[in-house]
Structure 1
């Protein structure tokens, strides 16, 4: 049946239809105007567009311009357009917005294309890259599940997109987009973090198939996650490659070639407790925060900088390769040393063999996170002990990697107490620049930094300070002293004299150089008696040791505590012509735009005369040539100019070695968490066995890398004014014999 309409009815229907169209259009225009004027929420200003806010990770950068680590809430680092491979740009445009260079922020025609792709199973959004950027920067996902709010949000995105297009070039827009996009799991934001996480590379080096995989993750990072869903990720990657071929970014032959390749992942998730220099990064973060606060360094708007959000760049003195060599040396030798330690204690009743065993375990239990949590839950001491004696699943550290196991928590405390700790620092003695910093054995399990934060008794590594005062007072390395006990009278106290193990004592007349080389306590005490304690304590403080150093005779054999940081810095003055240059690891701090916020200037102190410092390098070379450090020669074949000093404290609780070369000074410490737990024999517990090998392994790798510029054939430079101290003992003896009255003077002084 055909219904005929009268002309009046047709006219009425036309008016109604046009009224709906015009009314709808007017409503949309009015809505857009309301959105534009901020009636539904303020839109970003021009200043906001110029300075879009996003959480940027702050980067720790080595001296050789490598990223050592990051501080972040979101692991995001910005890159420039030139630092992004064209493969990434092409993959993104082909898949997300193939008319990107033709529209002005909104592409209504794209909607129909997207509908077709969604119908065949390749889900895509209708927004342009510019609209997606607007959403990422200013709207996020708010209101996504509320239809009304989502409509308002969509209109806001349109307006912001148009504004972005007016204020930025296409290159800037696509760069900002790739810097802000979320790549899903593992706290990965931006193309730089994604490239590093999934392929351990930079955005500039991404291949077409790698770029395709990452671009496919943009719309559905969970669905196309290559770790969790490799099949879907492969399918998604190949779709992007197909789109690239359709848009003529790659040929059909290349498409077939890339499509056939495996995912080829090189997965490196970023974690604060993993990666290189974890202890260093933790110390550095606190220091940077302290610098920003104490020096009142604030953002242009007056607010405080947030290290986890504001994208600062912290330039450090650490050398990436040398840091890696230091960590490798520690891992290689500490694994062997721990095996020696375990065998050494195997079969012993620890409660009987270790002093204060029960107290140490109780203290360890009370400091544990488990104990603190149980206390906070209101558990009684009896309930807590029952918990600690009940087997539980836990993850523990081993030198072969972490393992998941089941053991009593109280046994895990014992296990931790019997785990050897180690720390190491290496620096340039001239500039003070620290090149490598290994603060402990595993940051995930043992977070206490032993380079700077921890102090331990220094033992015989303190002896060179006493000899340095003697050399400054005219003593000669060739002077001979009878190696017998010589008590030092302390006002108000009993006379003091150090012990000397019979097996380690070299009897007879010894030169000062030989006495230092073999670390002879009695001769060191004799020298202390001659120079007195106060000048030695003063020198130690001038050489940068910040921990207390009492002016007592016992400091000559290392009765005081100090950090690896301070002791390594102190030895640098011997190499640097008597100048102590403050050990430093921060070069400068920049904001995200490259503006310098802080520029570090290390302090320099003339700690001793240049000639005395040079003579001390000669003395310390004797330790390696004939004394306690000779295994550097016969075992590790380091025959180049090297000096150093081993150190072993009471009961072998601490093992030290501080090595000096003309271009590097390196300090190493090894011991257990508690001093009562240690090797029972000096043969195993001495610094020559617990610390020196790590120095040796480290230096062998440093010397092998010629690009570092650390040369083996360079010797310590004498003073430009010459050396008046006679270092040839044959010549010295002849001079002494030719000088009348010398024997009487020496006899009076005990030489």
Structure 2
């Protein structure tokens, strides 16, 4: 009995040991099995090897300027442009490691010590997720539901993916991927967008305290929002800086000084309706849609068969220079704000009961408002929703809260209450503008401004709009005459009444154009002086001698592709053209007679840098070098003694009349400038196209409706409405010598066969050029 009692404890201990090892092995096997099942996809989809090689993230298409700056992006939900590890500042990487994963370089995706600490202290002393786990969660796993089992399975999947990422990528690549994928809010998808939106700079330029703000946001970007919770984010930033000091990435002294700094958030949201070159970007969107339709995507398994402008991370290299684009937009804003203020002064209801319309009957105004109402987004939206016409019309009479454009507001917007119909009239009262600047030798468009504010005026007047060219069309008549008749700028014609009889050039009635003042001096004018002063009678004589058809032929070769009736009246600019066409045509004169089609996109690449498109210049020899140079010398006369003289000098009369609208006047240019002003009937359109040897820039200003205009030529002429924008723009360009804008003479061809120097000819009396005399008194 005694022996039996001694054996019982021995068997019990053996049994305990046996079951201990069985349970231990079962536990290990279960853990291994769970991880195997997770890797096989038993708990949900897991990424394939190919997806690990190419993680699927939505990448924004980037628009890149000629000087290497990002003009904007095309994206739907993800404004993401990835950067490489080498483009991340070291202080950002240090802040990330110190705050999120201090043993990052010593583990293989799972931090065992961190996991054990999290289990023992129930997460009170920090979590256990490594950077690799956080990346796996962002890339490949969906958010788990609230129950414990789902969260446990989620964690297992993250561990499996993290270890795979560690085998597939280097530590540096994982950091770059993590920073590129994180959503920092406000369309700041990835570190590059975040750096630009919150601090207005590229990631590589971030300071230590700025990097600490962004790393602090990684904990929860919605909670640690620097726009809405400044104090909370400041404290979080200082925690990151403390972590950097704790792990010797910065000194204690540096930590103290950095923590004392303000955050200095430079919030610059990126949206399709705001930022630089908005009108150009919207043109580019249409260009890309057409290119995508004509260029199928190479077929790859699991990918779309068409390029997606918003998801595929294309890079579009453009000709726009961000500095010149900035100068153009600033110049438009500076002048148009002052011009609009004067327009409001002259078109108050007391002075003009039909404001903003002039010279219209009530019935004509009603027609304009009716047309605008039916073309509005409100009308289309309500009609699509099934509303009756009566309901729609009634809605236009109800006062509602709205935000409208206002030049005087700091943000260019103000909140107000008005009826939708009144808002239509309100917007009709604003003058519109467009401007394009091009390098004539290459056709590269350097600046593109389609209006005063894209958010509120989305019609792009550079390429969508077309208005009567007025006297800016006259150089084409002179070019045809010099080319076909071998005339020179020094040949003379009389300023006297001149009629082209009915039927001579296809015109139905006799055409007897008047000068802008309705008078004829009877004096002889050289072609140079006649163009400088826009003498309509001389232009009529030239088109009669050369004929409208040769003019139309030359104009077509200069890129003015729309229909032009070959009748004499085209000589005074009765045909509609847009700024894009006119600048391209004028570029031929500066480029020694060779037309180069304007180009805006030079190259398109995919996200891997593979070139998908490269521009091939489209050129055409239109005029001889001699004729082109003669035209340049003709148009130099406009700025030396004609309507463009105010680019160089001023008079007391000018200063008095224009001080309210012309910023920076007098301009004081001394270098050679060729150009032409233009003003159409009733002052509805004001033009100026100016050239220096390596830059041609065109400007148009006018109302949306032709009946919205200044009453007098004093303010309504091209020299008052459009020329100041050109002058401000060029002064800004010349203030940055690195842009290389020429101040030199236009190149003279060798063995020039046309007399262009009229100084040796007898002096002839000129008209006074205090005001522009290119107002075309047309009879439509």
1:538 matches 2:553 = yes
The Cα of 1:113 is off from its aligned counterpart by 4.5
Could you list the per-position Cα deviations for residues 118-161 of structure 1 after superposition, in whole angstroms to 9, with x for gaps in the alignment?
866x8x5421111111122222x333445444433322222221
Equivalence map 1:675-690=2 (5 Å): 675-690=706-721
The Cα of 1:507 is off from its aligned counterpart by 4.5
The Cα of 1:210 is off from its aligned counterpart by 1.0
1:102 matches 2:86 = no
Q: Given the superposition, is the C-alpha separation of residues 728 and 234 from structure 1 closer, same or farther in structure 2, using an over 3 Å criterion?
A: closer
Structure 2 residue aligned with 1:324, among 320, 323, 326?
Answer: 326
The Cα of 1:75 is off from its aligned counterpart by 1.1
Q: Is the 8 A contact 2:678 2:688 kept in 1?
A: yes
Structure 2 residue aligned with 1:86, among 90, 102, 126?
Answer: 90
Question: Higher mean Cα deviation, 234-243 or 482-491?
Answer: 482-491
Could you list the per-position Cα deviations for residues 703-730 of structure 1 after superposition, in whole angstroms to 9, with x for gaps in the alignment?
1111111132x011011x3212112336
Residue aligned with 1:645, SS:
strand
Residue aligned with 1:244, SS:
helix
Structure 1 residue aligned with 2:50, among 25, 47, 50?
Answer: 47
Q: Is the 8 A contact 2:358 2:709 kept in 1?
A: no
Structure 2 residue aligned with 1:716, among 743, 746, 750?
Answer: 746
Q: Is the 8 A contact 2:358 2:707 kept in 1?
A: no
Q: Quote the residue 1:745 is aligned against.
A: none
Residue aligned with 2:602, SS:
strand
Equivalence map 1:130-529=2 (5 Å): 130-139=132-141, 141-145=142-146, 147-183=148-184, 185-298=185-298, 300-301=300-301, 303-346=305-348, 347=350, 348-350=352-354, 353-355=358-360, 356-400=364-408, 401-473=412-484, 474-488=486-500, 489-490=502-503, 491=506, 493-502=508-517, 507-529=522-544
The Cα of 1:381 is off from its aligned counterpart by 3.7
The Cα of 1:204 is off from its aligned counterpart by 1.0
Q: Quote the residue 2:726 is aligned against.
A: 695
Distance of 1:707 and 1:628 partners within structure 2: 31
Q: Quote the residue 2:81 is aligned against.
A: 77
Give 5+ residue unaligned stretches, structure 1: 735-751
1:605 matches 2:636 = no
Q: Quote the residue 1:668 is aligned against.
A: 699
Distance of 1:224 and 1:588 partners within structure 2: 39
1:649 matches 2:680 = yes
The Cα of 1:647 is off from its aligned counterpart by 1.0
The Cα of 1:437 is off from its aligned counterpart by 0.5
Q: Given the superposition, is the C-alpha separation of residues 27 and 329 from structure 1 closer, same or farther in structure 2, using an over 3 Å criterion?
A: same
Could you list the per-position Cα deviations for residues 283-321 of structure 1 after superposition, in whole angstroms to 9, with x for gaps in the alignment?
112212212321335465572121211111111111111
Q: Given the superposition, is the C-alpha separation of residues 272 and 612 from structure 1 closer, same or farther in structure 2, using an over 3 Å criterion?
A: same
- Return the TM-score normalized by structure 2: 0.89
Distance of 1:492 and 1:97 partners within structure 2: 83
Q: Given the superposition, is the C-alpha separation of residues 299 and 331 from structure 1 closer, same or farther in structure 2, using an over 3 Å criterion?
A: farther
Question: Higher mean Cα deviation, 91-100 or 552-561?
Answer: 552-561
Distance of 1:730 and 1:252 partners within structure 2: 77
Q: Quote the residue 2:4 is aligned against.
A: none
Question: Higher mean Cα deviation, 151-160 or 401-410?
Answer: 151-160
Q: Given the superposition, is the C-alpha separation of residues 101 and 641 from structure 1 closer, same or farther in structure 2, using an over 3 Å criterion?
A: same
The Cα of 1:276 is off from its aligned counterpart by 0.4
Distance of 1:110 and 1:449 partners within structure 2: 58
Q: Given the superposition, is the C-alpha separation of residues 117 and 388 from structure 1 closer, same or farther in structure 2, using an over 3 Å criterion?
A: farther
Residue aligned with 1:471, SS:
helix
Distance of 1:647 and 1:369 partners within structure 2: 34
Residue aligned with 1:395, SS:
strand
Q: Is the 8 A contact 2:87 2:204 kept in 1?
A: yes
Distance of 1:628 and 1:117 partners within structure 2: 83
Q: Quote the residue 1:749 is aligned against.
A: none
Distance of 2:146 and 2:417 partners within structure 1: 45
Question: Higher mean Cα deviation, 641-650 or 487-496?
Answer: 487-496
Residue aligned with 1:729, SS:
coil
Q: Quote the residue 1:739 is aligned against.
A: none
* CA RMSD, Structure 1 to Structure 2 (Å): 2.1
Q: Is the 8 A contact 1:683 1:689 kept in 2?
A: yes
Q: Given the superposition, is the C-alpha separation of residues 614 and 114 from structure 1 closer, same or farther in structure 2, using an over 3 Å criterion?
A: farther
The Cα of 1:573 is off from its aligned counterpart by 0.2
Q: Is the 8 A contact 2:60 2:312 kept in 1?
A: yes
Q: Is the 8 A contact 1:461 1:656 kept in 2?
A: yes
Residue aligned with 1:717, SS:
coil
The Cα of 1:349 is off from its aligned counterpart by 0.8
Q: Is the 8 A contact 1:482 1:523 kept in 2?
A: yes
Residue aligned with 1:76, SS:
coil
Residue aligned with 2:105, SS:
coil
The Cα of 1:379 is off from its aligned counterpart by 3.6
Could you list the per-position Cα deviations for residues 471-499 of structure 1 after superposition, in whole angstroms to 9, with x for gaps in the alignment?
11201212221112322233471222334
The Cα of 1:23 is off from its aligned counterpart by 2.6
Give 5+ residue unaligned stretches, structure 2: 1-7, 650-665, 764-780
Q: Given the superposition, is the C-alpha separation of residues 730 and 84 from structure 1 closer, same or farther in structure 2, using an over 3 Å criterion?
A: closer
Q: Is the 8 A contact 1:506 1:520 kept in 2?
A: no
Structure 1 residue aligned with 2:670, among 623, 631, 639?
Answer: 639
Q: Is the 8 A contact 1:354 1:677 kept in 2?
A: no
The Cα of 1:43 is off from its aligned counterpart by 2.6
Equivalence map 1:18-33=2 (5 Å): 18-33=21-36
1:659 matches 2:690 = yes
Distance of 1:126 and 1:354 partners within structure 2: 77
Q: Given the superposition, is the C-alpha separation of residues 670 and 125 from structure 1 closer, same or farther in structure 2, using an over 3 Å criterion?
A: farther
The Cα of 1:182 is off from its aligned counterpart by 1.4
Q: Quote the residue 2:603 is aligned against.
A: 588
The Cα of 1:688 is off from its aligned counterpart by 0.8
The Cα of 1:219 is off from its aligned counterpart by 1.9
- Return the TM-score normalized by structure 1: 0.93
Q: Quote the residue 1:561 is aligned against.
A: 576
